[in-house]
């Protein structure tokens, strides 16, 4: 690695503030399973899920994303005119040409001197946006401004299909900046890409299509590839840092790596893209197996170590995924929100891993350090309050809502977030802001 590259690495860049949002309506997955003649244990044990958020006709990727972003800015104390880059990642786009991000630009009152576009790579889109924003900041092009990266989706499959139990809706908004208050991203990251048909949504369909069992294999293969690439990237960055500061002896984690420590020994937590919680369990077992082989640990100790690591380093951060369902691009960042809100103060200074998977496919494994003092900004997220404020629907109400056209009904004031889809006229979408923001 060149000296220039390691200078870029030294810029402290990452997530400064985080906002999340999920619809105010939800459905018990045990009720849905019973209605479909499926044993409820298949949901609670087999998939590890509990409830899914249901998007009513006044919500779409724009309204969910705008509500998360408004919360990130207002609660994080970030002014609209500090934003110089706005990226919206979604796989539930509302127009084939007009980017959903431009609606957020208007709704949030962002400055005209702000680059903005929509990105798509299935559930990986949010992470793609985060990486673009990080590079924009590391390159110096930001000129002191911040980026706003929004991941927003409604996971919809055909009613009665086996994937129906893995639906959901929600959004996450990340303010990305230098000197971040929440999570400083490390320069090392591992990427994997390969063309596969595991999950897709042709342009004329609202509901996604999926080759369910194959999609699980693709996710795990991508994790293997991203993990191997992460180790290569980490070794490269550690080597460059050592060369740049010869004689310093390297950082604590470089020394641990040199001593042959699996990631679970070095890191405090692992966050996974979570279409349903059991997927995170399968992924973590796979990662542990791979790490065990890499560092030549005794095979008979793997099972217990993997279960212990899952219970302490993965499972506690799955609450939002368990209660909201799949949120595609936002899923990984809802796990981060829960970790930060529940344990940010206790884990300040510790390193965590994030694994992002997008069908089709592209995946990335990267690490970051929870910033000293991150408990203060983490306390503004309000994820638990969002879950408490929801109303549970009956299966009949959920089915009726699913059939309604977007913009066909206005919400009651307590049912909407920062804005709602008021109508679609002449193929144009009309959004209205709520009286009381964020
Ligand atoms: N009690 C306890 N467990 C039970 C049970 C019961 N009565 N009945 C079934 N189970 C268990 C099964 O053993 C299985 O567990 P294991 O995988 O650990 O063996 C689990 O419940 C699911 O059962 P099935 O495999 O029979 O379920 P299914 O055929 O309905 O398919 C699914 C499940 C493939 C996840 C399907 O819901 C689906 O296609 N979902 C959408 C695709 C998806 O989420 N893929 C994830 C990877 S791709 C990705 O991550 C991108 C993305 O976001 C879409």
pLDDT in tens, 113-152: 999 999 999 999 999 999 999 999 999 999 999 999 999 9
Q: Is the pLDDT of residue 103 over 90?
A: yes
Share of the chain above pLDDT 70, in %: 92
Q: Is the pLDDT of residue 252 over 60?
A: no
Indicate whether residue 37 lines ligand 1 (CB < 6 A): no
Q: Is the pLDDT of residue 431 over 60?
A: yes
Residue nearest to atom 13 of ligand 1 (CA): 46
* Residue 239 structure tokens: 């080597």
- For the segment 388-403, the average pLDDT, to the nearest whole number, is 96
Which atom, in ligand 1's list, is nearest to the CA of 208? 54
- Given this model, what pLDDT does residue 241 score? 67
- Given this model, what pLDDT does residue 2 score? 47
- For the segment 88-99, the average pLDDT, to the nearest whole number, is 97
Q: Is the pLDDT of residue 249 over 70?
A: no
Q: Is the pLDDT of residue 6 over 80?
A: no
Residue pLDDT, tens place only, 202-221: 999 999 999 999 999 999 99
- Given this model, what pLDDT does residue 238 score? 77
- Given this model, what pLDDT does residue 247 score? 46
Indicate whether residue 380 lines ligand 1 (CB < 6 A): no
Residue nearest to atom 11 of ligand 1 (CA): 46
Residue pLDDT, tens place only, 44-56: 999 999 999 999 9
The pLDDT-based confidence of 5 (bands split at 50, 70, 90) is low
Residue nearest to atom 53 of ligand 1 (CA): 275
CA distances to 19, 206, 384 from 359, rounded to whole Å, are: 25, 17, 29
User: Ligand 1 centroid vs 138 CA: distance in angstroms?
Assistant: 40
DSSP string, 308-340: HHHHHHTGGG-HHHHHHB--GGGHHHHHHHHHH
Indicate whether residue 166 lines ligand 1 (CB < 6 A): yes
Q: Dihedral angle at the C-alpha atoms of 425, 121, 371, 82, nearest 10 degrees? A: -40
- Given this model, what pLDDT does residue 243 score? 67
- Catalytic positions, please? 91, 123, 273
User: Ligand 1 centroid vs 289 CA: distance in angstroms?
Assistant: 21
Rounded CA-CA distance 63/417 in Å is 8
- Given this model, what pLDDT does residue 434 score? 85
Indicate whether residue 171 lines ligand 1 (CB < 6 A): no
Residue pLDDT, tens place only, 325-384: 999 999 999 999 999 999 999 999 999 999 999 999 999 999 999 999 999 999 999 999
| Cis peptide leading into residue 349 (ω within 30°) | no
Q: Rg of the chain over CA atoms, in angstroms?
A: 21
Between 256 and 148, where is the model more confident? 148
Q: What share of the chain is helix, strand, coil (3-state, %, to 5)?
A: 45, 25, 30
- Given this model, what pLDDT does residue 420 score? 96
Rounded CA-CA distance 302/207 in Å is 40
CA distances to 205, 254, 258, 316, 336 from 231, rounded to whole Å, are: 39, 12, 12, 26, 22
- For the segment 259-282, the average pLDDT, to the nearest whole number, is 93
- Given this model, what pLDDT does residue 102 score? 98
* Mean pLDDT, the chain, whole residue set: 93
User: Ligand 1 centroid vs 179 CA: distance in angstroms?
Assistant: 41
| 53: Cβ contacts below 8 Å, ≥ 6 apart | 22, 23, 25, 26, 168, 169, 170, 323, 324, 325, 327, 390
């Amino acid at each position: 690695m060149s000296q220039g590259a390691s200078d870029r690495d030294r810029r402290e860049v990452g997530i400064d503030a985080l906002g999340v949002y999920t619809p105010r309506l939800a459905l018990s997955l045990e009720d849905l399973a019973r209605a479909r003649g499926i044993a409820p244990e298949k949901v609670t044990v087999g998939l590890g899920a509990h409830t899914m958020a249901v998007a009513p006709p006044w919500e779409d990727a724009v309204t969910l994303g705008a509500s998360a972003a408004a919360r990130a800015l207002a609660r994080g104390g970030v002014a609209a005119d500090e934003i110089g880059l706005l990226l919206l990642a979604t796989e539930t786009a509302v127009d084939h040409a007009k980017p959903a991000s431009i609606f957020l630009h208007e709704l949030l009152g962002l400055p005209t001197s702000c680059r903005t576009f929509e990105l798509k790579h299935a559930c990986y889109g949010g992470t793609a946006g985060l990486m673009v924003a990080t590079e924009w900041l590391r390159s110096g092009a930001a000129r002191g401004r911040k980026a706003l990266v929004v991941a927003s989706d409604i996971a919809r499959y055909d009613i009665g299909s086996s994937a129906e139990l893995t639906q959901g809706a929600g959004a996450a908004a990340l303010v990305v900046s230098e000197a971040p208050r929440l999570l400083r991203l490390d320069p090392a990251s591992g990427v994997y890409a390969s063309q596969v048909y595991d999950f897709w949504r042709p342009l004329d369909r609202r509901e996604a299509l999926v080759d369910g069992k194959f999609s699980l294999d693709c996710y795990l293969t991508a994790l293997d590839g991203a993990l191997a690439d992460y180790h290569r990237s980490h070794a490269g960055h550690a080597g460059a840092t050592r060369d740049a500061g010869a004689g310093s002896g390297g950082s604590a984690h470089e020394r641990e790596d040199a001593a042959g420590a699996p990631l679970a020994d070095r890191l405090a937590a692992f966050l996974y893209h979570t279409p349903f919680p059991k997927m995170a369990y399968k992924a973590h077992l796979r990662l542990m197996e791979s790490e065990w082989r890499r560092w030549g640990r005794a095979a008979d100790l793997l099972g217990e170590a993997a279960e212990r690591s899952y219970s302490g380093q993965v499972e506690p951060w799955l609450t939002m995924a368990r209660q909201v369902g799949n949120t595609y691009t936002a899923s990984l960042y809802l796990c981060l929100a829960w970790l930060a809100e529940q344990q940010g103060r206790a884990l300040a200074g510790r390193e965590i891993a994030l694994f992002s998977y997008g069908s089709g496919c592209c995946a990335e494994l990267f690490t970051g350090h929870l910033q000293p003092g991150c408990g203060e900004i983490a306390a503004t997220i309000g994820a638990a309050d969002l879950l408490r404020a929801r109303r549970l629907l009956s299966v009949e109400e959920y089915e009726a809502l699913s059939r309604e056209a977007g913009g066909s009904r206005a919400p009651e004031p307590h049912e909407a977030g920062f804005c709602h889809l008021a109508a679609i006229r002449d193929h144009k979408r009309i959004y209205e802001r709520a009286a009381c923001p964020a």
